[in-house]
Amino acid sequence: MSPPAKSAHTVGPPASEPYPALSYELFPPRSSSAAETLWQTIRELEQTSPDYVSVTYGASGSNRDTAVELLGRLLAETSLKPLAHLTCVGNTREYLFNLVDELITLGVRGILALRGDQPQDSSGHSELVYASDLVQLIRTAERRRTAHLCAGRLAVGVAAYATKHPESPSFDHDVEALLAKQAAGADFAITQVFFFPDHFERLVSAARRAGVEMPIIPGVMPLTSVRRLDRLSELAGIEMDHRLRDRLAAADDDGARRRIGVQATVDLANAALDAGAPGIHLYTFNEHAAALDVLDNLQLRRPPIPGGLGRTA
Ligand code: FAD
């Protein structure tokens, strides 16, 4: 029997691999001078046409109003698509439900569902225990607004950890937690900062073995400051790259530190892309210079910028 003729509807392999995704993390400003720096950063980053920018949210909603205001301004005044971080620690179900509803009304179509760090005091009543509970709540709130979301469902992201979360008994426990977030309805994950290239690969392999199918996007930060490295290692329990730390500490000046740090970040991002990462999420700390240095050196394959506009060198 001869093979059936190919119909026009035959789905063949894609013409080419999709472009790697590019996104940046920003945080809401804490003062008017910080807002000025942030907006300069936003304008610079906008010219690189990222797929989205994420906006952090303080645990217990400490910066709720500034976060919502920044999301609104990004939607109204820029071409950028915001991904709103949302934490559930210290808040009630009703409060979170109403906030998700408010974000949908504002035009936000992506939410990163997080638990948030436990506060030192026990203020605020947490009705949700884990980020996976928040994912479920977001999906419930979304269903209530289906009619308004005809132009696109919410994309719900979650956190992933290339090195063990400080509260976890093991790395495998975190992988199980990631699987639970997927089962609750998450679409994608972004990793916490990590310092060693093989840590990302290890996470992705373990996650795939466990049944996690959603994209896992590596979060990388410009590794240009000893202080920042120390703080991350201390606060987030991330295993320190002592060789890199020593090289940064021994560098003669800020320029040398920046060259070392940017190269280290580019190497990390390239290793993650080589391991199959679907994109790169850059933690900017609201500063554009080092992020753009990383981007220039990374030479990420990106779609042409509409209208030929873009950053001039
Ligand atoms: P969870 O997934 O709930 O995990 C918390 C702990 O519980 C982990 O040890 C996990 O292994 C365990 N666990 C999870 N589910 C289960 C389960 N079902 N059963 C048993 N154990 C479980 N913090 C902020 O305050 N604001 C932000 O904007 C923010 N943005 C972030 C962005 C990214 C990309 C990342 C990686 C982190 C961010 N954080 C932010 C930090 C985050 O809130 C902390 O790392 C927090 O301690 C854990 O959050 P989570 O969403 O991973 O929590």
Whether 177 lines ligand 1, by a CB cut-off of 6 Å, is yes
Question: Is the pLDDT confidence value at 1 over 50?
Answer: no
Q: Are 74 and 42 in contact (CB under 8 A)?
A: yes
Ligand 1 atom index nearest CA of 160: 36
Ligand 1 atom index nearest CA of 57: 28
Whether 163 lines ligand 1, by a CB cut-off of 6 Å, is no
Task: List, by residue number, the catalytic residues.
Answer: 25
> What is the domain class of 21-298 according to CATH?
alpha beta
Residues 6+ positions from 93 with CB-CB distance below 8 Å: 127, 128, 137
| Whole-number Å distance between alpha carbons of 200 and 198 | 5
Sorting pLDDT into bands at 50, 70 and 90, what band is 6?
very low
Of 13-27, 104-118, 166-180, 286-300, which range is least confident?
13-27
Whether 89 lines ligand 1, by a CB cut-off of 6 Å, is no
Ligand 1 atom index nearest CA of 113: 51
pLDDT, mean over the chain:
91
Domain spans, the chain: 21-298
The predicted-structure confidence for 59-107, as pLDDT tens digits, reads as follows 877 899 999 999 999 999 999 999 999 999 999 999 999 999 999 999 9
The predicted-structure confidence for 258-307, as pLDDT tens digits, reads as follows 999 999 999 999 999 999 999 999 999 999 999 999 999 998 999 987 66
Q: Which pLDDT value is given to residue 126?
A: 82
| Whole-number Å distance between alpha carbons of 155 and 240 | 32
Q: Which pLDDT value is given to residue 151?
A: 72
Whether 165 lines ligand 1, by a CB cut-off of 6 Å, is yes
Sorting pLDDT into bands at 50, 70 and 90, what band is 7?
very low
SS3 labels along 225-263: CHHHHHHHHHHHCCCCCHHHHHHHHHCCCHHHHHHHHHH
**Could you tell me the pTM of the whole model?**
0.93
